[in-house]
Amino acid sequence: MLRLASKRLLGLATGEAASSRPLQILPRLYHENVIDHYNNPRNVGSFDKNDPNVGTGLVGAPACGDVMKLQIKIDEKSGKIVDACFKTFGCGSAIASSSVATEWVKGKSTEEVLTIKNTEIAKHLSLPPVKLHCSMLAEDAIKAAVKDVEAKRAKLNGSEAAPAEKAANADEMVAGELKGGKNCEEETCLEDCVCNLEPMVIT
């Protein structure tokens, strides 16, 4: 029975071989927006990942093998995203999702782009359910890029603040020692002042 059904599907059953045509596999029909972004992807390229104003998001989908790298460039003064680019290894839907994401993040703050949802990208591209993971990758890549650039800027701000903090601490210590002890609050400090005692560790 199964063999007969297979022959009929292939148009090879008795009496049908000459008259019927071979089975045709219809191509998947994509929305014009997907085709547009696939044929003419926006912002393909890469930035220097070591630039403190550049955030890099690298994400992948083990289920299908798609890998997406999305980068954003932040303006130091305004904090806005002034440019974005991507490189994606994957299907047409993944490439289109990346392309749309780079367009949507430009001109926005990092807080604003975190509100971009995969459902919005999927709706814009009219992605079928089987391709929704591509839009999820785009959302994850945006979040990863923002997290990366914020970590860089926090580290940079911390390293700049460190010398100032050390200088302030040094001034406090000097002022304390001038009063008499290691860091005594009294204007006059005697030799047996508690500030001169070594710290004790009680176990």
Q: Does 199 fall in a domain?
A: no
pLDDT of residue 112: 96
The catalytic residue positions are 64, 134
Question: Helix, strand or coil for residue 117?
Answer: coil
Q: Does 47 fall in a domain?
A: yes
pLDDT of residue 29: 75
pLDDT of residue 163: 55
Q: Does 120 fall in a domain?
A: yes
Q: Does 182 fall in a domain?
A: no
Residues (pLDDT < 50) of the chain are 1-19, 25-26, 173-203
pLDDT of residue 158: 79
- Count CA atoms closer than 13 A to 93's CA, side-chain side: 26
| CA distance linking residue 93 with residue 30, whole number of Å | 9
pLDDT of residue 27: 56
pLDDT of residue 61: 75
Q: Does 23 fall in a domain?
A: no
Q: Are 43 and 68 in contact (CB under 8 A)?
A: no
Rounded to the nearest angstrom, the gap between the alpha carbon of residue 85 and the centroid of all alpha carbons in its chain is: 12
Q: Please write the tens of the pLDDT for every residue from 20-42.
A: 555 554 456 788 999 999 999 99
| CA distance linking residue 55 with residue 114, whole number of Å | 13
State the residue range of the domain holding 132: 35-154
Which amino acid is residue 140, in one-letter code?
A: D
Q: Does 51 fall in a domain?
A: yes
pLDDT of residue 172: 55
How many structural domains does the chain have?
Answer: 1
| CA distance linking residue 106 with residue 83, whole number of Å | 6
pLDDT of residue 65: 85
Q: Does 161 fall in a domain?
A: no
Q: Does 163 fall in a domain?
A: no
| CA distance linking residue 158 with residue 135, whole number of Å | 35
CA angle at 112 for the pair 111 and 113, rounded to the nearest 5°: 95
- Nearest Cα neighbor of 81 from 176, 134, 25, 150 is 150
* Domain of residue 90, CATH code: 3.90.1010.10
